[in-house]
Structures are given as C-alpha cells and as structure tokens.
Amino acid sequence: MSESKFGSDDGLEIDIDTLIRENAQAVADYELQDSDESNNQDLQDRQALRRVNGLSTELQDVSDAEYRQLRLEKVVLVGVWTEGTSKDADNSLKELAALAETAGSQVMDALIQRRDKPDPATFIGSGKVTEVRQAVVATGADTVICDGELSPAQLRTLEQKVKVKVVDRTALILDIFAQHAKSREGKAQVELAQMSYMLPRLRGWGESLSRQSGGTGGIGGRGPGETKIETDRRRINDKMSKLRREIKEMKISRDIKRNERRKNNIPSVAIAGYTNAGKSSLLNRLTGADVLVENALFATLDPTVRKTQSHDGRVYTFVDTVGFVRHLPHQLVEAFKSTLEEVSQSDLIVHVVDGSHPDPMEQIRAVRQVINEIGGGEILEIIAINKADIAAPEVLMELLRTESSAYAISARTGYGVPTLVKAIESALPKPNVEINAVIPFSRGDLVSAVHETGEIISEEYLPEGTKIHAMVGGALARKIELL
Ligand SMILES: Nc1nc2c(ncn2[C@@H]2O[C@H](COP(=O)(O)OP(=O)(O)OP(=O)(O)O)[C@@H](O)[C@H]2O)c(=O)[nH]1
Ligand SMILES: [Mg+2]
C-alpha cells in the first residue's frame, strides 16, 4: 500500500487528495442541503415540542409514567473529573450540554471539579457546592444536572444545598428517550426503564410525599409517608411486570419476521453506532428510506428495517436503530433488549462513527462496549467513518490507519458510499450449498428465490425447465432437492 493511500483489503482505497478536494466541495454544498431536512414532518413536530419533561420531584401517581411535569428549564451543569485529560473532561461536559439541549433545556453555566472520586455526600466537594449555588442564583437556573449517576442520598443532599431540582445524567437520558418514543413498544420500553430508575429512589421522592401527607416518617420509619412509599413501590413493581409482559408480546411479531428472513437466508446488516453519528442518514442514503434525521441525540428509537439488493441481485436488509452513548444507562439497555436484538442478531454490523467528533476513538470504544454487552461482540464489523465532508482529514487518516476494516464516507454528500456498499456486499454471509438442478417452469417462485438469495454460476433454459447451477442457502437447497 502506498504512503498516501489508506483503506482495507481488496483494493478499496481512499485517495487523500480526492478526499480533501471533495471535502471542500461538500462544505460548500453543506448549507444548501441542510434546508431539505426541515421538510420532514416528524422533525417539525419535534421542534414544536422543544420543552422539557422534567422529572418532577413530587410523585403524583407513580403508576402512571406521566409523573413528569412539563416545563422549560434553565440548567447549570456540574461534572466531576476523575480520570483522563482535561480535554476528556471538557468533551464529557460538552456531551452533557448536548443532551440537556436535546431535552429542551437552556444551558446557563457549566462547572467541573477535579477530584479522585465523587464526594459520597454531595457528588462534588462541599466547597464547590457553594459555587454551584452561586451559579444557580446568578443565572436564575431552576435545575442542576450532574454528569454521572448519583445515589438517591446524593441527589437529596445536593438538592437541599443548591435549593433547586437536581437531576443526574441517567435521568436526563431517560427523559430524552421519553420525549422521543413514538411507537407503543418504544413507549413501554422507556416507561420500564424509568420505573427501574425510580424504584430505588422512591425514598428520596417519598420524603416530599410524607411531608405532603403530614407524616414525618415516625418512629421506626413507619409513619404515613412510609406506608405510602410501600404502596407506591408495590404498584411500581406490578406495573413493571405488566410492562415486561407487554414488551414480550410486542416483540413476537418482530421475531417472526426476523426468523422468516433467516429461514429464507436473507442476511441482515445492522447500522449501529454512537448517537448522532449519522446512522439514519446512511440508511436513507442506502435505501431511500425516509427515516427522521435530526441534529439531536437519540432521534431514532424504533428500529426501521429496509430491504435492498446487492449488485449481483441478492436480497438483504438494513436496519437502523437506537444510538449508543458513553455509560448508556443500564436500565435502558435492559428495557430495550428486544430492540437491541436487531443489532445482536444481525449478520454484519456497519458501525457508523462521527468523523467530525473531537474524539471518535472514544465513541468507537463506547459503542463496542454496548455491542459486547448485548452479545454482539462476535459479529463481523465494518467501520463507516461518516461526515467525511466536515471531518479533519488527519482524524480520518488516523482512524483509517488504526481500524482494519474502515471506510471514510459522507452520508450527506454520498462520498465513499459506493465503496462502502461494495465492502458490505462482499462481507455478507455467502450461500454455501451448491445446487445443479433443472427447475420446472411451473416453479418460477424457486427460480426467483435462487436469484434473490443465491449466487448464480450458470443458467440455461431447457424445454423441461430452467437449468440452474448456483450457490444457495440450506433451506432453499432442500426445497429444490425435493422437487
Ligand atoms: N456534515 C454532515 N452531516 C451529517 C452527515 N450525516 C449525518 N449528518 C448530520 O448529523 C446529524 C445526525 O444525523 P442522523 O442521521 O439523525 O444520526 P443518527 O446516528 O441516526 O442519530 P440518532 O438517531 O439520534 O442516534 C444530522 O444533523 C445530519 O444531518 C454527513 O455525512 N455529513
Ligand atoms: Mg437516527
């Protein structure tokens, strides 16, 4: 391989000069194309709804997921920087800001503290708490968002000290999911995740309930408030079991469809990756699907499956699904198990990476961690480094150098997409049974199936039928043998 070319096996290389040239052109086209997206009705609906559903500190009816109050929030972000460089810490807080904005909040201020580990009582050190309180007063903020998952006690103590609502990163992500869930399945999954987040925290919220009902917890903690918490807890548990059952039932029809595809040897390619990397844009570019594309985190929650055809006529599917993030709340991974199966049960993963992100390697690591967690660690992976039109060429080159099967693309301009498609097609599982048969003309369905899922070696029309020599999947081979 020459010095200026990077790329993977089979001669699919990238010429850096061309890339830089196309880069400049793409940036020029960039603004023009941006306006197309506003045609999307979904997007308009969503922008009209740019208000935040804050997790209300006062649980009205815990059996109903609508316990959150709708209000526009002004937030102060707080991070604890325990390891890595200061750039890592900044990136983390920038991501928290993007999450907060996606949830509809306005970020007023952001504070970060370096310490070995978060303070067990207040997350940030007590000295910093005063500073946070000052920032809250100075900016008129009504919420503090902490960059981590806080214990119920930490949330409560911090809330008392800063005197406004305190929310952690997990609650924020759950909130975005709640706002973006559209399908019945998606809504049920989010609700389940929210409840499993709420359950251990009930005591914290329960305090205000016990105050409401005039109780103080009483001796031995069995005041009226405590009783209410116990009823709440039971109701939440009941609701969670019901949701789990419902999700299981809803999953059945997708399982049937997936098994059908598998039986027919239709390979599935999962488009996975960090949130906002451009997965939906890539699906749209590859299949002409009309999936919502938005510069927001977790725009997509429901999987979209689209059929397509390889250059040699084989049918396969692409599926676009929910994006990943660093420290994806485990409640979400758990609740979205059935959705995430679209990735863990696929034949090939196209891992989309945002090449214009300041630290794409960190995103790659986070995505692989989730893929491993859901049992997809062994699946063949192709990296699609997206947004090549706005990415720094040196970042692209570095990624292409370190990743063995990586391609620079732009879902927006189409750059590199044909090369990526070639790589995908050559990585699709190959039909492995050789057939050499004459199929009667009355079984045209089998001939088309061989064309759609197999690889034709030769084909000839004889008076008694179509003589086909081909490689096909086991199930189809059996059907043909039984003729
Ligand atoms: N410049 C540039 N922007 C892109 C490209 N691909 C996607 N985008 C933009 O990146 C943002 C996110 O794109 P999506 O396709 O919604 O990303 P996603 O990975 O599906 O995101 P989630 O569903 O939210 O996880 C949108 O604003 C897109 O217009 C690209 O190749 N170049
Ligand atoms: Mg998407």
What integer best gives the mean pLDDT of the chain?
82
Highest mean pLDDT among 114-128, 143-157, 329-343, 376-390 belongs to: 376-390
Rounded to the nearest angstrom, the distance between the alpha carbon of 356 and the centre of ligand 1 is: 11
pLDDT of 187 > 70? The answer is yes
Q: Which ligand is closest in space to the CA of residue 417?
A: 1
> Using one digit for the tens of pLDDT, what is the confidence trace for 440-456?
999 999 999 999 888 89
Percent of the chain whose predicted confidence (pLDDT) is above 70 = 80
Q: Given this model, what pLDDT does residue 32 score? A: 42
- Mean pLDDT over 41-61 rounds to 41
Rounded to the nearest angstrom, the distance between the alpha carbon of 387 and the centre of ligand 1 is: 8
CA distances to 216, 226, 416, 420 from 220, rounded to whole Å, are 11, 10, 67, 65
Give the residue from 409, 174, 126 showing the smallest Cα distance to 285.
409
Which tokens is 292 given? 């919502």
189: left (phi over 0), alpha (psi -120 to 50) or beta: alpha
Rounded to the nearest angstrom, the distance between the alpha carbon of 166 and the centre of ligand 2 is: 29
Q: Given this model, what pLDDT does residue 42 score? A: 57
Strand 53-54 to 69-70 pairing? antiparallel
**CA separation for the pair 148, 53 (Å, rounded):** 19
- What are 166's strand-pairing partners? 144
Give the residue from 327, 371, 333 showing the smallest Cα distance to 350.
371
Find how far residue 403's CA is from the centre of its chain.
21
Q: Which ligand is closest in space to the CA of residue 40?
A: 1
Among 137-141, 142-146, 337-341, which stretch is predicted with the lowest mean pLDDT? 337-341
The answer to whether 201 and 325 are in contact (CB under 8 A) is: no
Q: Given this model, what pLDDT does residue 25 score? A: 52
The answer to whether 269 and 317 are in contact (CB under 8 A) is: yes
Q: Given this model, what pLDDT does residue 50 score? A: 33
Ligand 1, atom 11, lies closest to the CA of: 295
Q: Given this model, what pLDDT does residue 49 score? A: 36
Ligand 1, atom 13, lies closest to the CA of: 278
Strand 12-15 to 143-146 pairing? unpaired
Ligand 1, atom 30, lies closest to the CA of: 387
Q: What atom of ligand 1 comes closest to residue 299's alpha carbon?
A: 24
Confidence grade of residue 22 (pLDDT, cut at 50, 70, 90): low
Q: Given this model, what pLDDT does residue 26 score? A: 47
CA distances to 72, 77, 447 from 148, rounded to whole Å, are 22, 11, 57
Confidence grade of residue 266 (pLDDT, cut at 50, 70, 90): confident
Q: Given this model, what pLDDT does residue 19 score? A: 52
Rounded to the nearest angstrom, the distance between the alpha carbon of 327 and the centre of ligand 2 is: 19
Confidence grade of residue 33 (pLDDT, cut at 50, 70, 90): very low
Using CB distances shorter than 6 Å, the residues near ligand 1 are 30, 273, 275-281, 293-300, 323, 386-387, 389-390, 410-412
Which tokens is 270 given? 């999962």
Q: Given this model, what pLDDT does residue 364 score? A: 97
- Mean pLDDT over 233-255 rounds to 89
* Predicted structure pTM score: 0.79
Q: Given this model, what pLDDT does residue 418 score? A: 96
Phi, psi of 191 (to 5 degrees): -60, -40
CA distances to 95, 156, 303, 411, 468 from 182, rounded to whole Å, are 24, 32, 11, 25, 47
Q: Which ligand is closest in space to the CA of residue 282?
A: 1
**CA separation for the pair 40, 289 (Å, rounded):** 12
Rounded to the nearest angstrom, the distance between the alpha carbon of 283 and the centre of ligand 2 is: 9
Confidence grade of residue 253 (pLDDT, cut at 50, 70, 90): confident
Q: Is 406 helix (H, G, I), strand (E, B) or coil?
A: strand
Which comes out higher in pLDDT, residue 4 or 115?
115
Name the residue of 177, 274, 276 whose CB sits within 8 Å of the most ligand 1 atoms, as the mutation to test its pocket: 276
Rounded to the nearest angstrom, the distance between the alpha carbon of 104 and the centre of ligand 2 is: 18
For 49-125, where are the alpha helices, taking DSSP H only?
86-102
Q: What atom of ligand 1 comes closest to residue 34's alpha carbon?
A: 29
Confidence grade of residue 10 (pLDDT, cut at 50, 70, 90): very low
Q: Which ligand is closest in space to the CA of residue 36?
A: 1
| 261 DSSP 8-state letter | H
> Using one digit for the tens of pLDDT, what is the confidence trace for 57-109?
333 343 333 334 335 589 999 999 888 888 888 889 999 999 999 998 999 99
The answer to whether 473 and 449 are in contact (CB under 8 A) is: no
Which tokens is 29 given? 């086209």
> Using one digit for the tens of pLDDT, what is the confidence trace for 294-335?
888 999 998 899 999 998 888 999 999 999 999 999 999 999
Tally helices (H) and strands (E) across the chain: 17, 17
Q: Given this model, what pLDDT does residue 11 score? A: 38
Residues 350, 352, 354, CA angle at the centre, nearest 5°? 165
**CA separation for the pair 443, 448 (Å, rounded):** 9
Ligand 1, atom 14, lies closest to the CA of: 278
Q: What is the dihedral of CA 129, 131, 137, 140, to 10 degrees?
A: -90
Find how far residue 126's CA is from the centre of its chain.
35
Rounded to the nearest angstrom, the distance between the alpha carbon of 293 and the centre of ligand 2 is: 6
Q: What atom of ligand 1 comes closest to residue 273's alpha carbon?
A: 19
Find how far residue 226's CA is from the centre of its chain.
38
**CA separation for the pair 66, 163 (Å, rounded):** 24
Ligand 1, atom 27, lies closest to the CA of: 295
pLDDT of 410 > 50? The answer is yes
Q: Whole-angstrom distance between the N-terminal and C-terminal Cα of the chain?
A: 50
Confidence grade of residue 44 (pLDDT, cut at 50, 70, 90): low
271: left (phi over 0), alpha (psi -120 to 50) or beta: beta
Give the residue from 390, 206, 185, 210 showing the smallest Cα distance to 303.
185
Rounded to the nearest angstrom, the distance between the alpha carbon of 281 and the centre of ligand 1 is: 6
> Using one digit for the tens of pLDDT, what is the confidence trace for 453-468?
888 999 999 999 999 9
Q: Which ligand is closest in space to the CA of residue 43?
A: 1
Residues 6+ positions from 463 with CB-CB distance below 8 Å: none
Rounded to the nearest angstrom, the distance between the alpha carbon of 415 and the centre of ligand 1 is: 14
Q: What atom of ligand 1 comes closest to residue 323's alpha carbon?
A: 25
Q: Given this model, what pLDDT does residue 18 score? A: 55
> Using one digit for the tens of pLDDT, what is the confidence trace for 412-435?
999 999 999 999 999 998 888 999
| Neighbouring C-beta atoms of residue 84, cutoff 10 Å | 12
Q: Which ligand is closest in space to the CA of residue 27?
A: 1
Q: Given this model, what pLDDT does residue 389 score? A: 96
Q: What atom of ligand 1 comes closest to residue 276's alpha carbon?
A: 21
Q: Is 328 exposed, middle or buried (0-12, 13-18, 19+ CB in 10 A)?
A: buried
Name the residue of 29, 293, 354 whose CB sits within 8 Å of the most ligand 1 atoms, as the mutation to test its pocket: 293
pLDDT of 47 > 80? The answer is no
- Mean pLDDT over 223-244 rounds to 80
Q: Given this model, what pLDDT does residue 224 score? A: 56
> Using one digit for the tens of pLDDT, what is the confidence trace for 159-172?
999 999 999 999 99
Q: What is the CA radius of gyration of the chain?
A: 26
Rounded to the nearest angstrom, the distance between the alpha carbon of 273 and the centre of ligand 2 is: 10
Q: Given this model, what pLDDT does residue 17 score? A: 52
